[in-house]
Structure 1
Amino acid sequence: MAAKGPLRGISQYVIHRLVANYWSLPLIAVFGAPLLGAAVLWTDRAFAGEWLFERGVTLLVAGDAAQDLAIAIVGVNAALLTLYWSVTLIVLTLATANLGVRLVDRWLDKVLTRVSVAGLTFCLVFSIVVLSRIDPEASLAELPHFALAVLFALELVNIAMLGVAIHDLGRTMFVDRSIAHLGTEASSIAIPVVAAEPFAGEWRFALPAPREGYVEGMDLERLRKRLATHEGQVRFCAAPGQHVLKGEPLVQFEYEPRKTKPVLRTVAIGDFRSSVQSTVYQVRLLVEVASRALSPGINDFYTALACADQLAAAMAGHAQTWVDDGLVAVYEHDSRFELPGQDFRGLFEGPLKAFRQAAADYPSVSIRIIENLARLRTLLAGQDCPGALLEFFQTCAAEMHAHARANAEHDSDRADIDRAFDKCLLAVAGEA
């Protein structure tokens, strides 16, 4: 099945690429439908068709009527499949044109869409198989009653599911739904980390990246077992989502491992950014959707406000991953593994700056970001979070205030921005 959480290792990467698309399930349906059709026809001829006919359970009164029914079902299935493909392409084209092409990678993971395409494809091929075995000149007793009953039942399910699938595609256009899902997923911690003193010794061996691309994920638990007897520290130089060049240091070791292939198998490198990079991708996608919504061609600041709210929720969920200056993030279950860039600052500092740059020309969005940072500081101050994290929020709010104020064109906008930042300062004073 398609990966839903952080991708772990090359094997999961390969499986995800084979499954998270619009062709794998339909391909299975194309090859599976003739096999199931043959099995149904064999069952019909062996006993099921005669059993139904003897009990008067039949949809037909003549052989030509059976052929007409099958032809009609084949035509309907072909029309439904064409319709669904067309609507799918239209929805994806319109939505991505407005809010970013990288949402397509998430929509390709939608189980209902992939199952719907596969179901429509299956029913079309199955109906053709059944149609090919109908003799319009056969007597009523010789008709494949069981196969036709199965075909009719599948068609009823097909039509019912089409309505559900079309509704789901329509909801896809409502981007707030995707934003809410992104925020929920981004709030979960993909790789648990804790703060520790960085290794002060010499890294004696560096494992280079075998190819150019983006780090999709790493299977730290599997590597922990593979390196159970290995002594010394291990440093992962590139975090998920980071771009590496072929030959760049990917993993550094205090002592050279006996085998390097097991290590490389636990770090997947892909050609492009994708949703399996988990939190780092989701956070950046929230900012990308917000930035695109604020572009002059779209100018949808409500979408940007929704992204700002979900980004705040994601930051609240990652508060425990903060690492103070001078320390380094290490894997919670194995302190030998240093994970620079996979702490709170590594996840959110860059996206927050990008969001500030995009929102600086929009006072309403800038004010919401400042207010959310103040709310986060107030919330986390009562949960004994590190003081450096609270100062980080204050610094981000001050930068947003200065940038938005400098770009504001009206005195009233500057006054609103000042009031929002004053509330942030009052929250700081209240903590003191």
Structure 2
Amino acid sequence: MMHRLRGAFESLGDLFWLRPACIVAAGIILSALAIWAEGRANFGPPWWTGWIYSGGEAGARALLGAVASSTIGVAGTVFSITVAALSLASGQMGPRLLRNFTRDGGNQVALGIFLGTFVYALMLLRSVRSADEGAFIPHLGVSGALLLALLCVGTLIWFVHHIANGINVNIVIDLVHRDLSDAILALTSEKPAMSSPAAPLAGTPIAISKAGYLRTVDDEALADWAAKHQTALTLLVRPGDYILPGLPIAEVADPGVASAAQIEIASACSIGSRPAAAQDLEFAVRQLVEVAVRALSPGINDPFTATAVLDHLGAALTEVAPRNLAGNVLLRDGTVALHRKVTDYAGLCDAMFHMIRQNAASSAAVLIRLIDVLQKALQVEKRPERQAILVRHAQLALAVGRTSITDPVGLSDLESHFAALTASVARRDDQQTAHLPQRMAGEL
């Protein structure tokens, strides 16, 4: 259930119009409250009465008209600036990062404030009546319009600053890294996960007719269902995979419950037109890698951006080091109820470094930074199986550099950095070997 709720909240964040619509509705309600309170206001001698608008009908209409016309004009400017920023970001950092701009609450709220102020002033303007029409001037409402106009001025200043920072590639990389850090905290744990090296037995294939990206899966519900029917389920896909109609996505051990399993799996899986970060640990990794790959393209040729991405990927590896990735089985009463595909450490490192290494084959600077990042990750990582994966990627970087780098000095630097990495690994192995007899003696 929590996975389904997380997926629903993430889908709401993709709706650019949602926050502006809520603020517009708040402006309508606020104008109605101002009109309602006008007949019950007591303008006595307190000090704050001097701040309340005290002009006539013509001044109220002129002021509200000025606020309405100016705010709707600025709202159009804000929208134009946002579209221009999206176009620039799409060309510089890739179209898939546009999701981060459309989900940006600051852009949505800024547009909503201008539109909400426009609607508020417009609703008040229709209530202003002259003496011939029954004399009604919403003094409190006009004063509120002045305050909202000042708020719009401050919002415009903030928005220009915000959009200027938003298209800065370093800030964008940092924002995506924060998403990756949040995903690491949400999808990993400090406790060891239950995993089984044995492959599940083949069962009756289960397919669904819907196509799209698998966004979330309610694993717990599927495990509960399998335990209730005394069978086992095997998921053949994981969040982030693209589902093809008619292609099996799961298998059930008991063929007698295949029809019921198909209904349950279709209900537990959320499928959409694009992947989501709710359960996909590699989602933010792919976004960072796309920035680096685009920076390494011949048309841009920006190794500084690629090295910045590698630094943030190294930070992500150090965050993963003390934590455990999700296990591939879920148990019910000591029995395996669900086998599932999960992201393991090797797959995570492959997603981080394969495409960057392949596109940086002739860039000594990027390959050197890649090896340096792996060396720093090795200093933090304590598990031998993970260390072997990091060393493997360093060897791959060295191999591609030897075949593609034509600059002898750059190749020599790459060789020396790899030698430093292997030396640090050797020192750690010697220290562990030296401490092993002491630990054995202590146990005896």
- Superposition TM-score tier, normalisation by shorter sequence: 0.7 to 0.9
Q: Is the 8 A contact 1:408 1:414 kept in 2?
A: yes
Q: How much has 1:18 moved relative to structure 2?
A: 4.0
Structure 1 position 134 matched with structure 2 position 133: no
Secondary structure in structure 1 of the residue aligned to 2:129: coil
Q: Is the 8 A contact 2:296 2:360 kept in 1?
A: yes
Structure 1 position 181 matched with structure 2 position 175: yes
What is the distance in 2 between the residues matched to 1:284 and 1:108? Answer: 18
Closer/same/farther in 2, CA of residues 184 and 268 from structure 1, 3 Å limit:
same
In the alignment, residue 343 of structure 2 is paired with which amino acid? Answer: Q
Q: Is the 8 A contact 1:67 1:135 kept in 2?
A: no
In the alignment, residue 8 of structure 1 is paired with which amino acid? Answer: H
Closer/same/farther in 2, CA of residues 7 and 77 from structure 1, 3 Å limit:
farther
Q: How much has 1:91 moved relative to structure 2?
A: 1.1
Q: Deviations over 1:283-328 (max 9, x none)?
A: 11111110101112222211111110111122233344479xxxx7
Secondary structure in structure 2 of the residue aligned to 1:269: strand
Per the alignment, residue 213 of structure 2 pairs with 214
Structure 1 position 355 matched with structure 2 position 351: no
Per the alignment, residue 172 of structure 1 pairs with 166
Which stretch of structure 1 is more off in the superposition, 135-144 or 251-260? Answer: 135-144
Please point out which of 8, 32, 50 is paired with 2:3: 8
In the alignment, residue 37 of structure 2 is paired with which amino acid? Answer: T
Per the alignment, residue 426 of structure 1 pairs with 423
Secondary structure in structure 2 of the residue aligned to 1:272: coil
Q: Is the 8 A contact 2:307 2:366 kept in 1?
A: yes
> 1 or 2 for the larger relative contact order (CA 8 Å, sep ≥6)?
1
Q: How much has 1:378 moved relative to structure 2?
A: 2.5
Per the alignment, residue 43 of structure 2 pairs with 51
Please point out which of 391, 408, 412 is paired with 1:411: 408
Q: Is the 8 A contact 2:211 2:243 kept in 1?
A: yes
Q: How much has 1:80 moved relative to structure 2?
A: 1.7
Per the alignment, residue 3 of structure 1 pairs with none
What is the distance in 2 between the residues matched to 1:105 and 1:340? Answer: 26
Using the size of structure 1 for normalisation, the TM-score is: 0.86
Closer/same/farther in 2, CA of residues 66 and 229 from structure 1, 3 Å limit:
same
Q: Is the 8 A contact 2:14 2:102 kept in 1?
A: yes
Secondary structure in structure 1 of the residue aligned to 2:80: helix
Q: How much has 1:34 moved relative to structure 2?
A: 3.2
Closer/same/farther in 2, CA of residues 318 and 305 from structure 1, 3 Å limit:
same
What is the distance in 1 between the residues matched to 2:163 and 2:331? Answer: 40
Structure 1 position 397 matched with structure 2 position 399: no
Q: Is the 8 A contact 2:364 2:414 kept in 1?
A: yes
Q: Deviations over 1:23-58 (max 9, x none)?
A: 2223344455334322321222x312x537995553
Q: Deviations over 1:186-223 (max 9, x none)?
A: 24154347353345553333321331211112232444
Q: How much has 1:358 moved relative to structure 2?
A: 1.2
Which structure 2 residue ranges, 5 or more long, are not aligned?
430-444
Per the alignment, residue 93 of structure 1 pairs with 87
What is the distance in 2 between the residues matched to 1:116 and 1:322? Answer: 39
Aligned ranges 1:193-272 → 2 under 5 Å: 194=193, 196-200=195-199, 202-227=201-226, 229-255=228-254, 256=257, 258-272=260-274
Closer/same/farther in 2, CA of residues 148 and 169 from structure 1, 3 Å limit:
same
Which structure 1 residue ranges, 5 or more long, are not aligned?
1-5
What is the distance in 1 between the residues matched to 2:318 and 2:337? Answer: 27
Q: Is the 8 A contact 1:294 1:358 kept in 2?
A: yes
What is the distance in 1 between the residues matched to 2:121 and 2:226? Answer: 54
Closer/same/farther in 2, CA of residues 115 and 225 from structure 1, 3 Å limit:
farther
In the alignment, residue 252 of structure 1 is paired with which amino acid? Answer: E
In the alignment, residue 369 of structure 2 is paired with which amino acid? Answer: R
Q: How much has 1:13 moved relative to structure 2?
A: 3.9
What is the distance in 1 between the residues matched to 2:418 and 2:50? Answer: 79
Q: Is the 8 A contact 1:209 1:248 kept in 2?
A: yes
Using the size of structure 2 for normalisation, the TM-score is: 0.84
Closer/same/farther in 2, CA of residues 230 and 104 from structure 1, 3 Å limit:
same
Aligned ranges 1:107-126 → 2 under 5 Å: 107-126=101-120
Secondary structure in structure 2 of the residue aligned to 1:102: helix
Q: How much has 1:61 moved relative to structure 2?
A: 2.9
